[in-house]
Structure 1
Amino acid sequence: MSTATPVADLALRVRERLAVRHPGVPVGELVTLPGGHSGLTYSVTAGEAAYVVKAVPPGQRPVGRNDVLRQARVLRALAGSAVPVPGVAVVDEAQPAWFAMEFAAGEAIEPILDEPEMAAATARARMLDSARVLRTLHDTDVSGPALEAPEPLDAAGELERWSRTMHAVPDELRPGGDELLTSLADDVPDGLPPVLLHGDFRLGNILYAGERATAVVDWEIWSVGDPRIDLGWFLLFADHHNFPQLGRAVPGLPTEAELLDTYRAGGPALPAMNWFRALGRMKMAAIMGHNLRRHREGKHHDPDQERLPPTIAAMIRTARDLLG
C-alpha cells in the first residue's frame, strides 16, 4: 500500500499516465488552480503541452459535483462537435478517480459582475455569441451511447429540487420566498423535448479569446431536460439590476429579448419563458441564501456574503413580478 500523501499519490499517477502520452519529455508538478467549487483542480505541463486535472477529493465519494468521470463523459461526447470544449486526454477510473483535459486558452468573465471590467463592445459580442453557443449545445444529439444520458429533468423536477434548497434557507433571509414557490408550483408549464443542459451556462463558464469562444467549462451539474431551464438561468446575467450592490451597468449589453431572439434564430417560439425566468431567479436566491446562511452560522467565513441580502430580495421580488 502506498504511504504517499493523497496529493503526492495523485501526482504520481498523473505523471505516469502523461509520461506514456508524452514519452521522453518532462512532466511538471501539479499546481492548484484557484476558483474551483467542486473536486480538486490542478494544472500540469508535459513538455510544451498543458493540461487541467480534475480529481475526486480524498475520502469523498465520487458523486454529484465530485463525479469527475461524469464530467469527462460529457466532454468526450461533445468532442468534435460544434460546441467548443476541452479535449479529454487521460481518464483514470481507479479511485480516487481523475481525468486530464487539454488546457484551453481564454478568459471567462461575467461582464456585470466580474473583474476586470470588459470593454462594452466585447461584452455585447460575447453575450450574443454565447446565446448561439447555447443553441448549438441544445441541438446536440443526446441519444448516443457515449453520453449515457440520465433521465430527463422536467420543469416540475427542477422546481422540486431547488425548492428544497430554498426551504433550507431561514425565512428572514428570503422574504417572499414561500409565496414565490407557491406561485411557481401553481403554474408549471408543459415541457419541451429534452436537450443536453449545461446547468450553469453563462459567460463566467465560457472561455473567450477576444470575441471567439474557445471552451465551455465547468460541467459539474450537466443534465438532460427542458432547454428553457438553461435559458432562464443564462438570461439572469444580462441585466445588472438583477444584482443590487453587486452588479454594474455595461452599456450596450444585449437585453434578455435580444438574447432570446439570437438563441431562437427565427425558430419556434419558446412558450412560458417568464416562468423559467422566474425559476432562474428563485434558484439564484436559494443559492445566495444558502451561502449567506453558512457564513452566518460560521460554517464558511466570508464577510462578502453580507452584500447578498438586497440581491436575494430583488431576485424573489422580480420573479414574483414575472409571474404576474
Structure 2
Amino acid sequence: MSTTTETNELARRVRERLADRHQSLGELHPLPGGHSGLTYSITAGPASYVVKAVPPGQRPVGRNDVLRQARILRALADSPVPVPGVVAVDESEPAWFAMEFVDGEAIEPVLDEHRLDPELCRSRMLALPDVLRDLHGWTKTEAVEPLDPAGELERWSRTMRAVPSELRPGAEDVLQALAARIPDSIPPTLVHGDFRLGNVLCRGDRPAAVIDWEIWGYGDPRIDLAWFLLFADHRNFPRVGRAVPGLPGEEELLTAYLDGRPEPPAFDWFRALARTKMAAIMGHNLRRHREGKHHDPDQERLPPTIAAMIRAAGDILAPRS
C-alpha cells in the first residue's frame, strides 16, 4: 500500500469517528517536527485537531505507542496540568487518536532559533516549576512498574555505549561513577520524561498545554526536575546554545519548584545523570546521521556539547575537597 493510500485510509477512519461532532472535515496535513508515530492536523469548520497514528506496518510500542499517550492525556484531563483534550481513540490497527489543537508556541529559548523578547522567555520559564510540581503531585492510577534511579541509569548507559567511543570521551568513567553511587529511591510520581519549555505550548507568558508524552511513566521526580534545569543555561550547550539575557538559572528555578521544601536528597547525582542522558541522546543522533540513517548535517555541531556534558557530569560527581 502506498503512502498516499495509507494516508487516505487514515483520513477516512478519522472522518468517520469525528462525523458525530462535525458535518464537514478537511484533509489530513502532516505536521513536521515529530519524532514518534505519524502526526497530522485536520480542520473541522472553526475547530482543529491533531491526529497521532502508528506508522503502517510498525508495532505500537515505545514512542509509537500512541494509545499509551492517549491514556495519560485522558487521565490528566481534570488535573491542574494543562494538556490537550482527547476527542477520539481508535484501537484497530494501525491505531490512532485525535486531540484538540492547542494554539501556542513551544520554543526552547537556549536551543531554538527565535526572536522572542528575553523577558517573555523568562516569564515562560518561571511559570513551569508550578506545572512540574502539579505533574509530580499526580496520584498513580494504573499499574506501571516505577522506574527507579538504577533503571534510568541502565537505560541511558545502553544508549551511551551504543555511541562510538570517539564521540563520547570520558563517558565510561562517568557511567562507572554514577553506578557506584546510585541513590535510594523516593516515592514515585508521574514523570513526563522530557519536561522542558520546548515541550510546553505557551500563549503569551502562560503554559497552555504540556505536549510530547511519548516517554511518560511513573518514577523518581528528580529525573524530570534535573532534566528541566539543564535547559536554563546556554553554556551547557557549546556551539549550539544561545544566550538569553535574564533567563532564570538552575538555582532560581529549583527554588521556585521546591516552594519552601528542602532540596531533594542526592540531587547532584540526578544533575549528573541529566547531562549523561543529553550526551547519550546527542551521540545517538550524530551516529545515526553519520551512518546515513537520518541525514541531518546540523548534527555535526554536537561533538563539543557532547564532550562538555560528559565533563560537567564528571565534575558534579567528583569528590569535594
TM range (shorter): over 0.9
1:38 aligned residue (36, 39, 60): 36
Q: Deviations over 1:57-76 (max 9, x none)?
A: 00000000000000000000
Q: TM-score, normalised by structure 1?
A: 0.96
8 Å contact kept, 1:111–1:117:
no
Q: Shift of residue 149 of structure 1?
A: 4.1
- 1:128 aligns with 126
Q: Percent identity?
A: 71
Instruction: Confirm whether residue 182 of structure 1 aligns to residue 176 of structure 2.
Output: yes
Q: Name the residue aligned to 2:82.
A: 84
Checking the alignment, whether the CA contact within 8 Å between 1:295 and 1:305 is kept in structure 2 is yes
Query: What is the CA–CA distance in structure 1 between the aligned matches of 2:218 and 2:271, rounded to whole Å?
Result: 18
Name 2:304's counterpart in structure 1.
Answer: 310
The secondary structure found in structure 1 opposite 2:20 is helix
Aligned residue type for 1:137: L
Offset at 1:87?
0.2
Tell me the secondary structure at the aligned position of residue 43 of structure 1: strand
Q: What amino acid does structure 2 have at the position aligned with 1:55?
A: A
Q: Does 1:222 align with 2:220?
A: no
* 1:275 corresponds to: 269
Deviations 1:74-105 (A, max 9, x none): 00000021000000000011110000000001
Which residue does 2:117 correspond to in 1? Answer: 119
TM-aligned CA deviation for residue 170 of structure 1:
0.7
Bigger shift: residues 234-243 or 112-121: 112-121
Q: List runs of 5+ in structure 1 lacking aligned partners.
A: none
Aligned partner of 2:5 in structure 1 is 5
Q: CA RMSD in A?
A: 1.2
Q: Is the CA contact 1:52–1:103 (under 8 Å) kept in the aligned structure 2?
A: yes
Identify which of 45, 51, 54 aligns with 1:53: 51
Provide the rounded CA distance (Å) in 1 between the counterparts of 2:288 and 2:253.
Answer: 34
Of 189, 204, 207, the residue aligned with 1:210 is: 204
1:184-199 mapped onto 2 (5 Å cutoff): 184-199=178-193
Separation in 2, partners of 1:229, 1:122 = 26
Correspondent of 1:99 among 97, 100, 103 = 97
Q: Distance in 1 between matches of 2:108 and 2:55?
A: 28
1:234-280 Cα deviation digits (max 9, x unpaired): 11100101100001111111110111110010124311111101100
1 CA distance for matches of 2:34 and 2:48?
A: 18
2:285 corresponds to: 291
Q: Is the Cα–Cα contact under 8 Å of residues 149 and 224 in structure 1 kept in the other structure?
A: no
> Displacement of 1:45 after TM fit?
1.1
| 1:85 partner SS | coil
Q: 1:185 and 1:85 mapped to 2: Cα distance?
A: 35
1-structure distance, mates of 2:154, 2:9: 40
Point out where structure 2 has 5 or more consecutive residues left out of the alignment. none
Distance 1:149 1:21, change over 3 A: farther
- State the number of aligned residues: 316
Instruction: Return structure 1 stretches of 4+ with deviation > 2 angstroms.
Output: none
Structure-2 change in CA distance of 1:149 and 1:236 (3 Å): farther
TM-score by structure 2 length? Answer: 0.97
Shift of 1:117: 3.0
Q: Which residue of 2 aligns with 1:20?
A: 20
Question: Which amino acid in structure 1 is aligned with residue 281 of structure 2?
Answer: I
Pairing 1:142-161 to 2, within 5 Å after superposition: 142=140, 144=141, 148-161=142-155
Report the Cα offset of residue 46 of structure 1.
1.4
Query: 244, 250, 254: which one pairs with 2:248?
Result: 254
Question: Are the counterparts in 2 of residues 18 and 46 from structure 1 also a CA contact under 8 Å?
Answer: no
